[in-house]
C-alpha cells in the first residue's frame, strides 16, 4: 500500500482532471481559459455549498434535543463558519465579473441548457434559510431552543447581548442572511453584465428571473428586530 501524501489524500489527480472545457482546442487560448475559469468557479461553488449545507444542518441539530444534549455554543461555531463560506461564494462571483463579455459569448453555446438555476444544492440551501414564502428549519430550531430556555426570540432581540449564546445565534443568523442576500445580488449583477436582457441558458428570462427570486432569509427574525428598532426610536417632542 502506497503511503498517503498530500496529493493522494485530496485525490488531486481526479479533482484536477475534472475541468474539461467544451470549447474546441482550435479556439483562441483566451476563450478556452475563460471557459476553464467559468468551470472552476462553479465547481468550487458546489464544493463550498456542500460544506455550508452540512454546517447549517449540524447547527440546526445542535439546537434540537432529539439529537442529544443541545449545544448552542457548538451551533454558533457552525453558523459562523457557514457565514464566512457564504462570503467566499460572493467573492467568487465578483471574480467572475473579470471574465470578458466577448469570451463568455464565444463559449456560451457549448453550455447547452446547463444553468446555475439547476443547482440542487443551491435550492437546498435556499430551503434551509427560508424566505417570506416558506418557513425555515434553521430559524424554527432556534425559536424552539430559545423557548426551551424560557426566552422568546422577541425577547432575545429586545434584551440583546446579555442573553449570551442566544444573542450570538441571532446575530449569526442575521450575518448569514445578509451574506446570502449579497451573494444573490452579486449573481444578478454578473448575469446582467454578461447577458443584458438576453434569456438564460435554461430558457429562463435571465437577469429578470434571478431578480424575481431574490428574498432575504429569516423574515421573522428581521421583523422582530425591526420592532425593537421602532420601539427604541424616540418619540418627537412638540
For residue 221, with 0-12 CB atoms within 10 Å meaning exposed, 13-18 middle and 19 or more buried, which class applies?
buried
pLDDT at 221 over 80: yes
Between 157 and 128, residue with greater pLDDT: 157
pLDDT at 235 over 80: no
Structure-block grid coordinates of residue 137: 428549519
Mean pLDDT of 168-184: 96
What domains does the chain contain, in order, with CATH numbers?
Answer: 22-110+119-232 (1.20.58.480)
pLDDT, one tens digit per residue, over 3-45 is 899 999 999 999 999 999 999 888 999 999 999 999 999 999 9
pLDDT, one tens digit per residue, over 52-95 is 999 999 999 999 988 778 899 999 999 999 999 999 999 999 99
Tell me 227's DSSP state: H
Q: What is the DSSP string of 93-132?
A: HHHHTTS-HHHHHHHGGGGTT--GGG-HHHHHHHHHH-BT
What is the reported pLDDT for 145? 95
What is the reported pLDDT for 178? 96
What is the reported pLDDT for 236? 64
Residues 6+ apart with CB under 8 A from 164: none
Nearest to 57 by CA among 148, 149, 121, 151: 121
Residues 6+ apart with CB under 8 A from 113: 201, 202, 203
What is the reported pLDDT for 131? 64
What is the reported pLDDT for 200? 59
Whole-structure pTM value = 0.88
Amino acid at each position: 500500500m502506497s503511503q498517503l501524501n498530500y496529493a493522494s489524500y485530496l485525490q488531486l489527480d481526479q479533482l484536477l482532471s475534472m475541468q474539461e472545457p467544451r470549447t474546441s482546442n482550435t479556439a483562441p487560448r483566451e476563450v478556452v481559459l475563460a471557459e476553464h475559469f467559468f468551470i472552476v468557479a462553479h465547481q468550487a461553488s458546489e464544493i463550498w455549498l456542500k460544506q455550508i449545507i452540512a454546517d447549517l444542518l449540524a447547527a440546526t441539530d445542535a439546537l434540537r434535543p432529539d439529537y442529544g444534549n443541545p449545544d448552542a455554543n457548538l451551533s454558533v461555531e457552525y453558523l459562523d463558519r457557514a457565514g464566512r463560506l457564504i462570503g467566499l461564494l460572493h467573492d467568487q462571483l465578483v471574480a467572475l465579473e473579470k471574465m470578458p463579455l466577448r469570451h463568455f459569448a464565444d463559449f456560451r453555446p457549448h453550455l447547452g441548457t446547463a444553468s446555475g438555476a439547476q443547482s440542487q444544492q443551491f435550492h437546498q440551501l435556499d430551503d434551509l434559510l427560508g424566505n417570506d414564502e416558506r418557513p425555515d428549519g434553521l430559524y424554527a430550531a432556534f425559536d424552539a431552543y430559545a423557548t426551551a430556555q424560557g426566552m422568546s426570540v422577541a425577547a432575545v432581540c429586545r434584551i440583546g447581548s446579555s442573553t449570551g449564546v442566544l444573542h450570538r445565534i441571532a446575530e449569526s443568523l442575521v450575518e448569514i442572511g445578509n451574506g446570502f442576500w449579497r451573494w444573490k445580488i452579486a449573481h444578478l449583477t454578473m448575469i446582467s453584465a454578461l447577458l443584458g436582457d438576453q434569456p438564460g441558458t435554461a430558457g429562463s428570462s435571465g437577469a429578470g428571473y434571478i431578480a424575481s427570486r431574490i428574498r432575504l432569509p429569516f423574515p421573522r427574525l428581521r421583523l422582530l428586530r425591526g420592532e425593537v428598532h421602532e420601539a427604541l426610536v424616540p418619540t418627537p417632542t412638540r
